[in-house]
Chains A and B, each alone.
Chain A
Amino acid sequence: MIKKYTCIICPNGCEIKATIEGTDTITSIEGATCKKGEEYVKQELINPQRNIASSVLVKDGILPLASVRLTKSIPKKYIFNVMNEIKKVRLEAPVKINQVAIKNVLNLSSDVIVTKNVGRKN
């Protein structure tokens, strides 16, 4: 079976055509301009992974929100479960970039980390 992919690893967004045998064997691949393209297709076949970004509420901060992201991509199917966990978080200012908001979220081996410094309101 021939499947088409748009690689999301970098902004080049290579359009990849892959011939798949069975459920996850790539027999031929074209269109990828680097090695990461094949790894991406393999992962899309077995278990698509994504990173997500959102925000968490900050108490007494100069801003109401601190942005967050994951340290490592998670299986796509858990995106909304992780969003629910992120929504529960309340941090107290000051918060710093790289501060862990949730350690090992839902046991997915990825941390939710803060991506913006938010100082404390005077």
Chain B
Amino acid sequence: MNTIKKDVVIIGGGPAGLAAAVQLKNKGISNIVILEREKQLGGILRQCIHDGFGLTRFKEALSGPEYAQRFIDKVEILNIEYITNATVIDITSEKLVTAISGCGLLKYEAKSIILAMGCRERTRGAISIPGTRPSGIYNAGVAQAYINLHNTMVGKEVIILGSGDIGMIMARRMTLEGAKVKAVFEVQPYPSGLPRNIQQCLNDYDIPLYLSHTITNIKGNSRLEGITVSKVDENMKPIPGTEKDYTCDTLILSVGLIPENELSLAANVELDNRTKGAIVDENYQTSVDGIFAAGNVLHVHDLVDFVSLEAENLSNSVANYISLGKLPKCNIDVLTDANIGHTIPQKISGEKDVKLSMRVKKPFKDCEIDIMQNNKVIKISKFKKAIPAKMLEVKIDKIQIKSLDNIKVVIK
């Protein structure tokens, strides 16, 4: 069987893969291919039909499919090769890519691989809700696919667990389609989605949001019949005596997203236990030379605009990698204090300006994020508010980086 030689193989034709491909082509790297497992390009945006995408990039409130199409159009105009219905089943650290597709088994030998596989949803099994196992329990994204792609309504009387953005958006969507969404329950003492979605998806439709609550029982044999909800204490443990029963035929879980990195592991890419995505340097290069990652496969984003931007920055590095054969070493580790969930990148060189993306672990008001090196503050950034739902960015100029010692990010 023939092995096809490529400069770059891009795994995933969602927002990250599309933006990466367009930017590579614009940088003169033409021998590239996008491998997409679905029938069409666009990734998760195909089912995100609500508006609000592209406010930063296009200064317009587009729907997900429209946002994706802007990039798909560029891919077509630039004649970038893409193969749909092609599932990558293996990648190696030698940059060999194996995919199964409508035209059979495909094998590529690439100079560089871009990981752009996105993320998947945390499931009922991962959060261990007790009770029976009836039908009628869906992940929010699965319900979204049923309703927005397959024209299948998932239920009539709905409870939502988790205040993630997709869950709230589905609360509104199902309400518009005639379902009764009774309540959203969130185990944390603060919402995990964006404030605007609490307003426009829940408050607008009088859907109550209960914080510090979780589901402690699921009832029903063939179809879901109801759930029991309990208040939780500060350690998120259910408080006995606070149980309340709700009837419902549908339970939607919006309890978090996990970067999809099975393939990355196959190539020995080192993952960050906090993000569940790859550990990358300022070039978005992973621990494996020539393998790069951006978008939700790297860390879960709240805005697609940032995914596109990240993928474009990645492609700038990949273009350099292709022409130089390697990139400068990044030996400065970026460490965080307990209230910062993680940063991307996790490693920098100190040789150029760098933007750190991060998330806080709990809400802060009128806070400052300090970048420290050798116990000295080298950069202060002030924020009116910082919430776990929203990614923050802090820029460090090269000139502020004084040595090759590790950097620490602290919030106060």
Tell me the A residues contacting B by CB distance below 8 Å: 5-11, 13, 15, 33, 50-55, 57, 63-65, 67-69, 76, 79-80, 83, 97, 115-117
In the complex, the answer to whether A52 meets B176 with C-beta atoms within 8 Å is: yes
In the complex, the answer to whether A11 meets B51 with C-beta atoms within 8 Å is: no
Stretch from B91-99, B128-136, B190-198, B350-358 at the A interface: B190-198
- Tally of A-B Cβ pairs under 8 angstroms: 77
Q: Confirm or deny: B30 has a beta carbon within 8 angstroms of a beta carbon on chain A.
A: no
User: Most A CB atoms within 10 A — which of B51, B302, B303?
Assistant: B51
Q: Confirm or deny: B63 has a beta carbon within 8 angstroms of a beta carbon on chain A.
A: yes
Known: A11-B194, A11-B303, A67-B49. A55 touches B63 (CB 8 A): no
Residues on the B chain within 8 Å of A69, using CB: 49, 51, 63
Known: A8-B199, A11-B302, A76-B204. A115 touches B151 (CB 8 A): no
Measured CB to CB, the closest approach of chain A to B174, in angstroms, equals 11
In the complex, the answer to whether A13 meets B384 with C-beta atoms within 8 Å is: no
Residues on the A chain within 8 Å of B256, using CB: none
Measured CB to CB, the closest approach of chain B to A10, in angstroms, equals 6
Contact of B55 among A11, A83, A116 (CB under 8 A): A11
Q: Confirm or deny: B61 has a beta carbon within 8 angstroms of a beta carbon on chain A.
A: yes
Q: Confirm or deny: B31 has a beta carbon within 8 angstroms of a beta carbon on chain A.
A: no
Q: Confirm or deny: B52 has a beta carbon within 8 angstroms of a beta carbon on chain A.
A: yes
Residues on the A chain within 8 Å of B196, using CB: 6-11, 13
Q: CA A6 – CA B387 in complex, angstroms?
A: 14
Residues on the A chain within 8 Å of B49, using CB: 53-55, 67-69, 115-116
Measured CB to CB, the closest approach of chain B to A2, in angstroms, equals 18
Those of B31-67 within 8 Å (CB) of chain A: 46, 49-52, 55, 61-63, 65-66
Q: Can you show 5 pairs from A to B with CB atoms below 8 A apart?
A: A11-B194, A11-B196, A13-B195, A63-B149, A65-B148
Contact of A50 among B147, B149, B198, B200 (CB under 8 A): B200
Measured CB to CB, the closest approach of chain A to B284, in angstroms, equals 23
Q: CA A45 – CA B302 in complex, angstroms?
A: 29
| Closest B residue to A54 using CB positions | B176
Q: CA A6 – CA B385 in complex, angstroms?
A: 13
Residues on the A chain within 8 Å of B385, using CB: 15
Q: CA A36 – CA B384 in complex, angstroms?
A: 17
In the complex, the answer to whether A51 meets B61 with C-beta atoms within 8 Å is: yes
Those of B69-86 within 8 Å (CB) of chain A: 69
In the complex, the answer to whether B195 meets A15 with C-beta atoms within 8 Å is: yes
Q: CA A70 – CA B143 in complex, angstroms?
A: 23
Measured CB to CB, the closest approach of chain A to B38, in angstroms, equals 12
Q: CA A50 – CA B50 in complex, angstroms?
A: 12
Measured CB to CB, the closest approach of chain A to B363, in angstroms, equals 11
Residues on the A chain within 8 Å of B148, using CB: 55, 65, 67
List of 8 A-B pairs having minimum Cβ-Cβ separation, nearest first: A13-B195, A67-B49, A116-B65, A13-B196, A115-B63, A6-B199, A8-B196, A64-B151
Residues on the B chain within 8 Å of A116, using CB: 46, 49, 63, 65-66, 69
Contact of A67 among B63, B176, B198 (CB under 8 A): B63
Q: CA A83 – CA B203 in complex, angstroms?
A: 19
Q: CA A50 – CA B63 in complex, angstroms?
A: 14
Measured CB to CB, the closest approach of chain A to B60, in angstroms, equals 11
A sample of 13 more A-B contacts (CB under 8 A), given A6-B199, A65-B148, A68-B49, is A5-B199, A8-B199, A11-B390, A51-B51, A53-B49, A53-B50, A63-B149, A65-B149, A76-B204, A97-B65, A115-B49, A115-B66, A117-B69
| Closest B residue to A79 using CB positions | B176
Measured CB to CB, the closest approach of chain A to B171, in angstroms, equals 14
Measured CB to CB, the closest approach of chain A to B268, in angstroms, equals 36
Q: Confirm or deny: B150 has a beta carbon within 8 angstroms of a beta carbon on chain A.
A: yes
